Amino acid sequence: MAQLPTPDDMHFYRPADGHGLPHDPFNAIVGPRPIGWISSHDAQGRLNLAPYSFFNAFNYTPPIVGFASIGAKDSLRNIEQTGEFGWNLATRVLAEHMNQTCAAVGPEVDEFALAGLTPVASREIAVPRVSESPVSFECRVSQILQLQGAAGNKVETWLVLGEVVAVHINQSLLVNGVYDTAAAHPILRGGGAGDCFELGELFKMRRP
């Protein structure tokens, strides 16, 4: 075990007062994180595809995933209209395509087409999936929550939670029926400008 640090070894700050560093470390510390590559469409059927760096799973049964929209972006508005969205696994070979879907374009622009990706029909929802992605979830909204600070002040961020009602997995990622996380080569979001990661060394640690 490493020697215990002293107070002089630690950089301390209160977020409300600023971090005093060249780059806010918060989202680099809470990372790397899975990417919420979210497909949606509006009430008129116009497609949208966008990555979100605040994304994760929140429950087993029923399976629930969620992402945070900082600002009322197209994905949020679409999902409010339809109650549905898709999640698509962002992999290393799809990284550049995924990055193209970050472009700040109007709601009339189809990011599938912009990034050279193929929409494929879902089974349980009307929103299409990314055909090139080896894993996709079809989701129905369970909650949309505007976040607030400890003092109760609303912030311009919305948490979108959805129940996964259908799952698509490329058979190549199932080894003796077990999903091989590393074989998919998922990419993860770091905290610096443009920082992304691939999976590193696997180790097993069972609960006591």
Query: What is the mean pLDDT of each successive set of 10 residues along the chain, which is 208 residues long?
Result: 86 95 91 95 96 97 98 96 98 97 93 98 98 98 98 97 98 97 95 86 90
Looking at domain 32-198, what is its CATH homologous superfamily? Electron Transport, Fmn-binding Protein; Chain A (2.30.110.10)
Beta strands in the chain (DSSP E): 33-34, 36-41, 47-52, 55-59, 64-70, 84-88, 119-120, 129-130, 135-148, 154-169, 174-175, 178-179, 187-189, 196-198
Measured at the CA of 33, the angle between CA 91 and CA 52, to 5 degrees, comes to 75
Q: Given strand 196-198, what is the order of strands in its sheet?
A: 33-34, 187-189, 196-198
Read off the pTM.
0.93
* Contact between 139 and 163 (Cβ < 8 Å): yes
What pLDDT is stored for residue 1 in this prediction? 66
Residue from 42, 40, 39, 122 nearest 81 by CA: 42
What pLDDT is stored for residue 125 in this prediction? 98
What pLDDT is stored for residue 59 in this prediction? 98
Other beta carbons within 10 angstroms of residue 128's beta carbon come to: 21
* Contact between 50 and 67 (Cβ < 8 Å): no
What pLDDT is stored for residue 143 in this prediction? 98
User: What's the Cα-to-Cα distance from 169 to each of 37, 137, 138, 185, rounded to whole Å?
Assistant: 16, 9, 12, 14
Q: pLDDT digits over 45-69, tens only?
A: 999 999 999 999 999 999 999 999 9
CA distance 122 to 140: 12
CA 82 to chain centre: 19
